[in-house]
Amino acid sequence: MPQMDKRTRIAIRVAKELHDGDVVNLGIGMPTLVANYLPSGVSIILHSENGFLGIGPEPQKGSEDKDLVNAGGKPVTIQENGCCFDSAMSFAIIRGGHVDTTVLGALEVDEQGNLANWMVPGKRISGMGGAMDLVVGAKKIIIAMEHINKDGSPKIVKKCSLPLTAQAEVDLIVTDMAVIAVRPDGLHLIEIAEDTTLEEVVAATGGQLFYSNGNIGTF
């Protein structure tokens, strides 16, 4: 059996954290894949910070509407009973605590649940965007990312070295190697990918992991 694509594996596992009827914001990039892998019987209401509730799937090629795009500028559809509104209302929804879960990518996450996901010093950027509101406004923060950088360095670290998006807001980290819960006392390893080992996960993680061998599941 061919090895599952890393991004697909992460999206499938994150989707299991979502519940029927949840209002969910999926960040740009890998998080948008999560909607494709919802468990049977689970229907979520997708929120987009540029002013939508009830975003539907990507339109078929040739039927795109230039006025229907997500926060990343990609064409989308809108579901029956979906609605559109201005940015003021969109961020009132976020800041008012009406988003159940947000799924975001990250450059670094550390032992305290601090998140850095908006800039690398020296690189040109457009700004932090809505992430700063989502990480403090949503009830649950899930990070979806690969476990290590292309150079082999860890993305889960003892202390973030990059500029922070938010402090102590991350609840769960899902990578291609592991599922890690962020608790008040640190990082707790709860699952590892079925084709990896505990030793590999520990070696690839820059922060301290708490775990009990008998209680680690697989995904």
Give the list of residues 6+ apart from residue 160 with CB closer than 8 angstroms, or none. 108, 109, 110, 114, 115, 116
- Domain assignment present for 78: yes
- What are 218's strand-pairing partners? 192
Token couple for 164: 């922070």
* Beta strands per DSSP E along the chain: 23-26, 45-48, 52-56, 77-84, 101-104, 108-110, 115-116, 140-144, 156-157, 172-174, 178-183, 186-192, 209-210, 217-218
**Statement: residue 213 has pLDDT above 90:** no
Indicate the number of domains in the chain: 1
CATH number of the domain within which 89 lies: 3.40.1080.10
Classify residue 19: in a domain, yes or no: yes
Judged against a pLDDT cut of 80, whether residue 173 lies above it is answered with yes
Mean pLDDT of 72-86: 90
**What mean pLDDT comes out for the span 149-157?**
97
Q: Are 118 and 131 in contact (CB under 8 A)?
A: yes
Please report, as a single letter, which amino acid is at residue 97. G
Domain contains 32: yes
pTM of model > 0.85: yes
Query: What is the model's pLDDT at position 56?
Result: 85
Percent of the chain with pLDDT over 90: 79
**What mean pLDDT value characterizes the chain?**
93
Closest CA to 197 of 172, 169, 216: 216
Of the pLDDT bands very low, low, confident and very high (cuts 50, 70, 90), residue 155 is very high
Q: How far apart are CA 11 and CA 37, in angstroms?
A: 7
| DSSP H or E segment with residue 199 | helix 198-203
In this prediction, residue 1 carries a pLDDT of: 43
Residue 154 placed within a domain: no
Domain membership flag for residue 190: no
Q: What pLDDT score does 3 carry?
A: 67
For the stretch 48-76, pLDDT in tens is: 999 999 988 889 999 999 989 888 888 98
Q: Write the DSSP assignment of 70-130 as a string of letters.
A: -TTS-B-EEEEEEEE--HHHHHHHHHTT---EEEE--SEEETT--EE-S--TTS-----TT
Is 113 or 39 the better-scoring residue by pLDDT?
113
Assess if residue 182 is contained within a domain.
no
State the Cα–Cα distance between residues 168 and 185, nearest whole angstrom. 11
Does residue 186 lie in a domain region?
no
Check residue 4 and give its pLDDT: 79
Tell me if 198 is assigned to some domain: no
Considering the candidates 49, 108, 111, 169, report the single residue annotated as catalytic. Answer: 49
Catalytic residue list contains 49: yes
pLDDT score, position 57: 81
- Paired residues of 77 in beta bridges: 56
Q: Which domain holds residue 95?
A: 6-106+118-149+161-177
Q: Mean of the pLDDT values across residues 10-16?
A: 97
Q: Binning pLDDT at 50, 70 and 90, where does residue 123 land?
A: confident
